[in-house]
Structure 1
Amino acid sequence: MKHKTINFAIPSLITAFTLLSAPALAVEGLSANVGFTSNYLWRGVTQTGDSAAISGGIDYAADSGFYAGTWVSNVDFSDDASYELDLYLGFSGELNDNISYDLGYIYYAYPDSAESDKDNEYDFGEIYAGVSFSNITLTANYGIHNDDGAQWADKALYISADAEFEVAEGLSLNLHLGDYSFDDDYDDGDYIDYGISLSKSGFTLALTDTDLDNDDVKLTVSYAIDLDL
């Protein structure tokens, strides 16, 4: 989850449409996921130099609401880093039939990012909280304990809103809006990302853009499958 078109790194996660939204309440046990996307985007920013990515992960969910998992994808920042490894855990539940919540922590690791420069380690963490009202999800992510190469992530705040609508049988329309703000030393890099996507049977077609200078609208095609273990 890093980007170099501005003066600091910008990180990534789990889908080509939106970086981290509160996960759906899961059935107890182990599950796996495998995905392919024509462009790995995280919060509107490519993590693969506008090239394709293959990803996969394993998750555990308990009836109590506790969950934990890991996820990996190739990345390309034109430097040492070749893959991203995410580790996360959290707790989710329902307040009533219409309102659910999710609280957790995620660690973004780039194990080979500092092979040629020990000060170029990108790893960082975030705590997050989300609440869903029917088909709308609001999420906040806050950056903590970053490494030297990800100093921008410290105290960075990402707030997002996502809405999902079933427009036809099995066809979902998703709308996304996010605001990424940074600490005073990097506040000239604050930006907004937004997008729209259609999903059916594991396939997603998405249009994504940001208000960053010289950033164009990106069209991505993705496919993902979930497997019970």
Structure 2
Amino acid sequence: MLKLTTLLIGLLVCMSADAQIFQRELGDYDLKLGTSPSRSMAQGLVKPSSTGSFHGGLDLSHDSGWYVGQWAPSMGLSPAGNLEVDSYLGFKRPFDRTLGYEVGMIHYSYPQLDTLDSQEFFGGLTLLGSRFGAAFSNDPDKRNSTLFADLSGTQPFGVGLSVKYTTHRLFTPASIADGGYVSGFNDWSVKLSRPWMGIDLNLIYSDSSLNGSDCSAYSGHNSQCDGLFTFKAEHRFY
């Protein structure tokens, strides 16, 4: 693990200026190094968190379907960011051209913080180009259960649709301003996506079961507790 992390840090330093992926075949293995995520883990269910200025990772896969890798969404070089290293192991295999599956786990570690590491177990199915998955994780303060669907197999008018719903159960109820407690909450998101002239256009709506003063207890996947529309336009140069 130490050698793998050292290689990852070297990659981050050398390749942080431009987003790119270096790929090379090593016999039956396929090695990818880059500052863009080379794998959407759990068929798109588990994605790396928002990236900092310096980030990157490596991914090694075998023809049998096994893969292993590390991804660091932040090197912790800025005052607002902390070093995060996500190590994952999984198995991905198609049954035929229309159906496949994937299972695995991810270990999240934060070497610069005095906090416990967390693990996430995931599984997914691919059916006629659409993807469905579930994940279960134990964070230091809560347990999360997620369902995910990416209907890429059917895109009317060229528009992709993906949805995610997560249930969070707090180990210790959080107190709120009115004297009450929050022991759990749900959050969800819906994303519409469409490529246009080399640009990826995304419209995202996210919300949670909390509102008002209850939002002080929110610690879910979304950037905001209340309902929020977000529009993103991304263009990749590499």
Q: TM-score, normalised by structure 2?
A: 0.60
Query: In structure 2, what residue type is equivalent to 1:35?
Result: S
Which residue is equivalent to 1:23?
none
Query: In structure 2, what residue type is equivalent to 1:180?
Result: T
Structure (1/2) with the larger helix percentage: 2
SS in 2 for 1:182: strand
Which residue is equivalent to 2:36?
35
Larger Cα-atom Rg = 2
For 2:153 and 2:237, the matched residues in 1 are separated by: 20
Do structure 1's residue 221 and structure 2's residue 221 form an aligned pair?
A: no
For 1:69 and 1:200, the matched residues in 2 are separated by: 32
Which residue is equivalent to 1:70?
70
Which residue is equivalent to 1:86?
86
The answer to whether the 8 A contact 1:59-1:68 is kept is: yes
* Shift, 1:137, TM fit: 0.5
For 2:155 and 2:184, the matched residues in 1 are separated by: 39
SS in 2 for 1:90: strand
**Aligned match of 1:206 in 202, 209, 225?**
202
Do structure 1's residue 128 and structure 2's residue 122 form an aligned pair?
A: yes
Residue 58 to residue 128, structure 1, CA distance change in 2 (3 Å) = same
The answer to whether the 8 A contact 2:167-2:187 is kept is: yes
For 1:96 and 1:160, the matched residues in 2 are separated by: 22
SS in 2 for 1:68: strand
Residue 54 to residue 218, structure 1, CA distance change in 2 (3 Å) = farther
Identity %: 19
Residue 53 to residue 132, structure 1, CA distance change in 2 (3 Å) = farther
* Shift, 1:164, TM fit: 1.6
Which residue is equivalent to 1:160?
148
For 1:95 and 1:164, the matched residues in 2 are separated by: 19
* Shift, 1:163, TM fit: 1.7
Query: In structure 2, what residue type is equivalent to 1:123?
Result: D
The answer to whether the 8 A contact 1:128-1:141 is kept is: yes
5+ residue gaps, structure 1, are: 1-26, 37-41, 115-120
For 1:59 and 1:167, the matched residues in 2 are separated by: 29
Give the CA RMSD over aligned residues.
3.7
Q: TM-score, normalised by structure 1?
A: 0.62
For 1:161 and 1:69, the matched residues in 2 are separated by: 24
Greater RCO, CA 8 A, separation 6+: 1
Alignment length, in residue pairs?
A: 176
* Shift, 1:99, TM fit: 0.2
Q: Deviations over 1:94-124 (max 9, x none)?
A: 112210100101112222233xxxxxx1531
